[in-house]
Structure 1
Amino acid sequence: MTTLTAPQPAATPTPASLTAGTLTIPLPSGPEAPAHARRAALGFLHWSWPALTQDRCDDFLLIVSELVTNAVRHAPGPNTLTLTTTAEALDIAVTDGSRTEPAPRTPDLSDGTGGMGLHIAEDLGARIFIEPLSAGKCVHAAFCRG
């Protein structure tokens, strides 16, 4: 029996995947998606924003992980991560195949069912907004450099 596995996207940015401060990668649909997204984001942030402090980089990676986890857990794929840096800002964007907007909810601290992702992003200074798409939505966490 032969098993075929679809190729996985590169875990770190390659010159072909980087254009003008933007990285876009397709994400796997399973539980490995957040780790995959963090690896790609780490490489991108080091490339696009070399003066970023380690603490702030860790904040951004946590938000990437939370947004990707939400997309994989609550919406059908395909999912995509897009990171964009400019002189003034960083945008973390995750697309999914659901048109239902995420709603912040009271975090569940007892049974681990979540509810903290959007709160974490906002507490770390993100401006969260939802962009409707024809086949789903894109959840953005936007930050001003400063």
Structure 2
Amino acid sequence: MKGTRITDVTPGTGVSAGDSPEGIHEARDTARAFTGELVPAPGSGLVDTIVLVVSELVTNALRHGGGRYRLELSAAPDSVTVAVSDPNPAPPRERAPDLDGGGGGFGWHMVRGMARCLAVTPGPGPGKTVYAVVAR
């Protein structure tokens, strides 16, 4: 399955899946296409926020969640939900950001700050899904 990418954007939903670092770019493109279909159109600041949340959660899934991800985007009148699933059942681990060595640790803090709600649920299968709800 290495290098597999699935992308589908229809009004109200956006889906992307992959198992390689190129998937991060694909997921960002899916988020931009998804937000471009929303009515009313979100402002550029909201689009940037959604793309950043997608980028961070997909990166974490690829690095720490078993090397595969599935992204699902959905919208309600007052929010956009970013759902990223991966095959690792372990919840994300918050750690102190590495300010000196470039070792990361910033993503979960950023997502928490940008999301109205953040949740981790079991599944699908043996993995988990991370949900981030961003206000519109």
TM-score with structure 1 setting the length: 0.82
Coordinate RMSD, CA, aligned: 2.0
Unaligned stretches of 5+ residues in structure 2 = none
The Cα of 1:6 is off from its aligned counterpart by 6.6
Cα distance in 1 between the residues matched to 2:3 and 2:78: 37
SS at match of 1:9: strand
The Cα of 1:25 is off from its aligned counterpart by 2.1
The Cα of 1:22 is off from its aligned counterpart by 1.8
Cα distance in 1 between the residues matched to 2:62 and 2:68: 9
- Considering only CA atoms, is the larger Rg found in Structure 1 or Structure 2? 1
TM-score with structure 2 setting the length: 0.87
**Structure 1 partner of 2:6:** 9
Aligned residues between the structures: 134
**Structure 2 partner of 1:90:** 80
Unaligned stretches of 5+ residues in structure 1 = none
Does 2:92 match 1:105?
no
Cα distance in 1 between the residues matched to 2:56 and 2:121: 18
Q: After the TM superposition, which segments of 4 or more aligned residues of structure 1 sit over 6 Å from their partners?
A: none
SS at match of 1:48: coil
Which one has the bigger strand percentage?
2
Does 2:71 match 1:81?
yes
Identity within the alignment, %: 33
Does 2:131 match 1:140?
yes
Aligned ranges 1:1-146 → 2 under 5 Å: 8-10=5-7, 13=9, 18=10, 21-27=12-18, 29-133=19-123, 134-145=125-136
